[in-house]
Structure 1
Amino acid sequence: MLAEALIALAGAAGSALVTAMTTDAWEGVKTRCARLLGRGDADAEARQEGRLEQSRQELLAADDRERAGREQEAAWAARLRDLLEDHPDSEGQLRELVDSVAGHASASVVQVNAQARDQAQQAVQGQGVQNVTFGPRQA
């Protein structure tokens, strides 16, 4: 039975993986995670990379991305709990993976400030969460 802290780590790692699936960091995260799960076996690493990429494709294709994300998080958390139970020595590598995804997520925040007046319109394209605030016209 895993300690509560390791169960929480597996959950955080599952969440980090799903977060990374929609970022520019995905390829690196996918490779690191597959290496961790493959435990030095090249065939196992390739299978894990395929599994990770399939999860990403399912997430991106989902009509309800929030629900799909929760499902993917739960599935990867379960796999990572199994990894920690079978290979307790992988804890440090898993923590590093979570930290690197968190570091990339905070470093990839983009702020866009734009103004439009009268009949002008604005468009901001991107991926991820966007918050748009409309306020009174400033003089």
Structure 2
Amino acid sequence: MDPAVVTVAATAATTLVAAMTTDAWGHVKGGCARLLGLAGPAQGAGREPEREPERAWERQLEQARATVVAARERGDAQGERAVVDLLAARLAAVLEANAHRADEVEELLRQVLAGNAAADGQIDALTQALGRRGNTVYNQWVDNGGGGAQGPGATVTVHHHHHVPGVPGPS
């Protein structure tokens, strides 16, 4: 995973958890729910995904907030840290999966991290990293001369079924 993604996701998760017990919570929660909504629907209380991804993510963020508040009341720093780590992982996955939407991701991150001056440079680095990958298509030419295009993060497995004499094989 790109270091810029990891850094911004960790900053956003830490900012989000810090805001959970402040007046900024509503604003930060809304921006974060929109950002997480780029990943698609969250799983709600039922078995089916929610039709409105942003609302489902808002409910999940409220559950995370309840966990953080309870952890703080118990003096459980590890419980709070677990929420930060989970949110950072989810945010990183969304950032990675949405490299093709770098402008939208940047705008949502700036909403979530408003007032965090240190985050500006991190967001700029992330936008550059996502922009490079969002405009890249990887081509894989296979033995029979055909080609296939794969996007960022895709995996291609090629099985070689023949060897041309005089041409070295893979090392």
Q: TM-score, normalising length from structure 2?
A: 0.53
**C-alpha root-mean-square deviation of aligned residues, in Å?**
2.1
Of Structure 1 and Structure 2, which has the larger fraction of its residues in helix?
Answer: 1
Gaps of 5+ in 1: 104-139
Paired positions, count: 102
Asked which structure has the greater CA Rg, the reply is 2
**Percent identical residues:** 37
Contact 1:20 1:29 in 2 (8 A): yes
For residue 83 of structure 1, the aligned residue among 94, 98, 102 is 94
Relative distance call for 1:65 and 1:9 in structure 2 (3 A) is same
Note the 1:20-99 alignment, pairs <5 A.
20-39=19-38, 43-62=52-71, 63-88=74-99, 89=102, 90-99=104-113
Higher relative contact order (CA 8 A, sep 6+): 1
Deviation per residue, 1:95-122 (Å, 9 max, x gap): 303531537xxxxxxxxxxxxxxxxxxx
Change (3 A) 1:22 1:75: same
Unaligned residue ranges in structure 2 (runs of 5+)? 42-50, 118-171
Looking at structure 2, the residues matched to 43 and 6 of structure 1 have their Cα atoms a distance apart, in angstroms, of 26
Q: Which amino acid aligns with 2:34?
A: R
Matched, 1:102 2:116: yes
Displacement of 1:54 in angstroms is 0.4
State TM-score, norm by structure 1: 0.65
The 3-state SS of whatever aligns with 1:23 is coil
Name the structure with the higher strand share: 2
Counterpart amino acid of residue 9 in structure 2: A
Q: Distance in 1 between matches of 2:115 and 2:66?
A: 19
Alpha-carbon distance in structure 1 between the residues aligned to 2:95 and 2:107 = 10
